[in-house]
Amino acid sequence: MRANPTADPPAEVRSIPLPAERRLRDSVSVAIAGSGGAGVMTAGTMLLDAAARAGLYGLMVRTSGPQIRGGEAAALLRLSHRPVQALDDHFDLLLAMDWQNVHRFADEIPLRADSLVLGDSGEGDAPEAFTRGGARQVALPLKKMAKAIAGSWGNMLALGLSGGLAGIPLAALEDALRAAWKRSAESLAANLQALRKAYEESATLGDAIALAPGPDSATLAQGRWQISGNEAAGLGAIRGGVRFVAAYPITPATELLEWMAPALARVGGSLLQAEDELASVNMIIGASYGGVPSLTATSGPGLALMTEALGLAVTAEVPIVVVDVMRGGPSTGIPAKSEQSDLSFAVSGLHGDAPRLVLAPTSIADCVATTQWAVHLAEALQTAAIVLSDQWMGQSRAIIDRPADAGCVAARLTAAAHSPDYKRYRDTASGISPMAIPGTPGIVYTADGLEHTEAGIPSSQARDHRLQLDKRERKLLQYDYGAAWADVEGDGDVAVITFGSVSGSVREALARLASQGVAVRLVVLRLLAPALPARMDQALAGVRRVLVIEQNHGAQLYRYLRSMYDLPGRPASFHRPGPLPLRPAELATAIIDWQRAEQPVAEAA
């Protein structure tokens, strides 16, 4: 725990006593790993689907080596009767098809003494990194078992074994396999046989990791979805009214764009592949200037290229939305791994005084509502909105309750044909001025990145510059953002402030602390810019001190909040860079340490 945000993170993560209910395994965590071609992602996806069919909630995080194809990969799952927002501190089961380079995941797949490590007896022992904590090792002849059933694949054995050990009903596993199968009936039969054989085998390995029985599952799955954060953001954009997307591929945002390509065509919109991010952002500005709500998605390097044009959108008052699916930075950084390190850039990375909107989804499910809201806000306020998702949130799949439609859609204030004395950039009380849409007679104007008069004529006069700067700032500050600006939970007299994908781990840490009688208020920011001091004061009423939690090296949220808000007491920061996720126990320990550190010395003694 550091009040000094530049200090190094703690070298090791201590554990705190778990609440009693954890012993009942209200969640089970499974890692399926192997080298490329072993099919671990397929097995993991089917296991998640089977869990959903069995009435469970779940989360699947994908992790892989740097290779384009054929590298080591792991599907990291957590299944529960309750909604799952974070990975657990440890995995109950590591099932490896082989051990080739799987040791590289040792930090991402922490095990403990009661974990089970299951491998192929023909592949040798598990790497020491997985077993040094005392995890039980079991080896089965996986390749031989697959060979014995002609046409069957080893990863379907992995599905049967992991499903059986996790306590998923066989019928749900079979249904998941059938639903995903795209090959011949003979092939399906062979693999169903392999699945059943492995399921039987799992019963001989003990039930040490199985999930506690839950409510009757028959109808639970109804009304639930299985979705990734990237898909959820794409759906939110379309719900919000986006009908044009310009796309340049970049990890880990590409799937968002790929999902939107056919979806947009079905709703009468279109997606265009651009030659680079400079083009994609200027294309959406051009489309939105034409009256069509428009979006692009990218990651840090692409956002950096887009910044000049973001300033154009701000100055010319053309609404656009840019979803930044953040990855480890700076520069090319760690493209396929998560980090929340574009925040400073998003809130302050444009030249000139350029007020803009910055939002962050608070969960995979919330990617729908927050992106939808971002479209609504950008359109209502005629400015640029940046949505900060990240690799963890974007590429993970979750079983969630169907997210309700947030109801907000693009609603741009437009000018009527032949409006008398029309001025595009008129200095109105709200700061929002009606926009003429090309094709409308009698109100033509030129949208301009040059500073301009109210009529849109380029001007370098001090008065015009001041007037337009005030207008562009005022429209963002006067707008009533309502309660959606943040999720405020709990009522302790100390508070944690956080944002984005780490919110799930923070929520779980606070739930564990609450079960031990430690009350901590939580503020998860959905609107990062503009800052809303009055709402923050209200959210923190009665709070003595705050701890800011985030996943980056520079304490970016902490520094931003300290510059924009008068936070109570001496605000503290807990931050560490990616790519490893912040884990609930790590955060619970950090919060307890923070509380202890603030006690008077005599009392602590």
Partner 1 sequence: MNDLSSPPVALTAANYKSDYKPIWCPGCGDFTVLGAITKALAMLQLPPHEVAVVSGIGCSSRIPAYTTCYGFHGVHGRALAAGTGLKVSRPDLTVLVTGGDGDGYSIGGNHFIHACRRNVDLTYIVMDNHVYGMTKGQASPTTEPDWDNKLSPGGTGVRSFHPLVIALAAGANFVARAFSGDPNGTAEVIAQGMRHPGFSFIEILSPCVTFRPEQRDWKQHVHPSPVAPTDDPARAARRIMTDDGFNLGVLYAGSRAPYAAKSAPAMRSVADLEAEFAL
Q: How far apart are CA 256 and CA 254, in angstroms?
A: 5
Nearer to partner 1, 9 or 286 (CB): 286
Q: What are phi and psi of 315, to 5 degrees?
A: -75, -45
360, 500 contact by CB (below 8 A): yes
Q: How far apart are the first and last CA of the chain?
A: 19
Joined together, the tokens standing for residue 476 give: 């963002």
Per-residue binding string, partner 1, 189-228, x by CB under 8 A, is --------------------------------xxxxxxx-
Taken in order 35, 37, 41, 46, is the CA torsion positive or negative? Answer: negative
* SS3 (DSSP) at 299: coil
Does 285 contact partner 1 by CB under 8 A?
yes
Q: Is 305 in the site for partner 1 (CB under 8 A)?
A: no
275 sits near partner 1 (criterion: CB under 8 A): yes
Q: Where are the alpha helices (DSSP H) in 452-555?
A: 462-478, 503-515, 533-539
User: Does 294 help bind partner 1 (rule: CB under 8 A)?
Assistant: yes
| Per CB under 8 A, 239 contacts partner 1 | yes
Least distance in angstroms from the C-beta of 265 to partner 1: 4
Among 548, 590, 584, smallest CA distance to 569 is for 548
Asked if 438 is part of the footprint of partner 1 (rule: CB under 8 A), the reply reads: yes
Round to whole Å and give the CA distance between 603 and 469: 52
Handedness of CA 525, 530, 536, 538 (dihedral sign): negative
Backbone angles phi, psi at 320, to 5 degrees: -145, 160
Nearest-approach distance from CB 396 to partner 1, in angstroms: 14
Name the one range near partner 1 by CB under 8 A: 82-90, 130-138, 286-294, 584-592. Answer: 286-294
Q: Note whether 399 binds partner 1 by CB under 8 A.
A: yes
Integer Cα distance of 369 and 293 in angstroms? 16
436 binds partner 1 (CB under 8 A): yes
| Structure token pair of residue 532 | 């809303």
Q: Tell me the closest approach of the beta carbon of residue 308 to partner 1, in angstroms.
A: 5
Q: Between 356 and 512, whose beta carbon lies closer to partner 1?
A: 356
Give how many residues touch partner 1 by CB under 8 A: 68
Q: Does 533 bind partner 1 (CB under 8 A)?
A: no
Q: Tell me the β-bridge partners of 227.
A: 398
Compare residues 296 and 589 and give the one whose CB is closer to partner 1: 296
CB of 181 to partner 1, least distance (A): 17
Q: Closer CB to partner 1, residue 447 or residue 567?
A: 447
Q: Which of residues 47-66 bind partner 1 (CB under 8 A)?
A: 52-53
State the number of CA atoms in the 13 A half-sphere of 332 facing the CB: 1
Binds partner 1 by CB under 8 A, chosen from 18, 129, 305, 457: 457
Least gap, CB of 223 to partner 1 (angstroms): 8
Tell me how far, at minimum, the Cβ of 353 lies from partner 1, in Å. 17
The single residue among 31, 40, 238, 497 that binds partner 1, judged by CB under 8 A, is 238
CB of 396 closer than 8 Å to CB of 228 = yes
Other Cβ atoms within 10 Å of 331 Cβ, number: 8
- Phi (first) and psi of residue 385, to 5 degrees: -120, 130
Q: Does 80 engage in binding with partner 1 (CB under 8 A)? A: no
Number of C-beta neighbours around residue 274 at 10 A: 19
Does residue 171 belong to the site contacting partner 1 (CB under 8 A)? Answer: no
Which residues here bind partner 1, judged by CB under 8 A? Answer: 52-53, 221-227, 231, 235, 238-239, 243-244, 246, 261-263, 265-268, 270-272, 274-276, 278-280, 282-292, 294, 308-309, 311-312, 316, 399, 402, 436, 438-450, 456-458
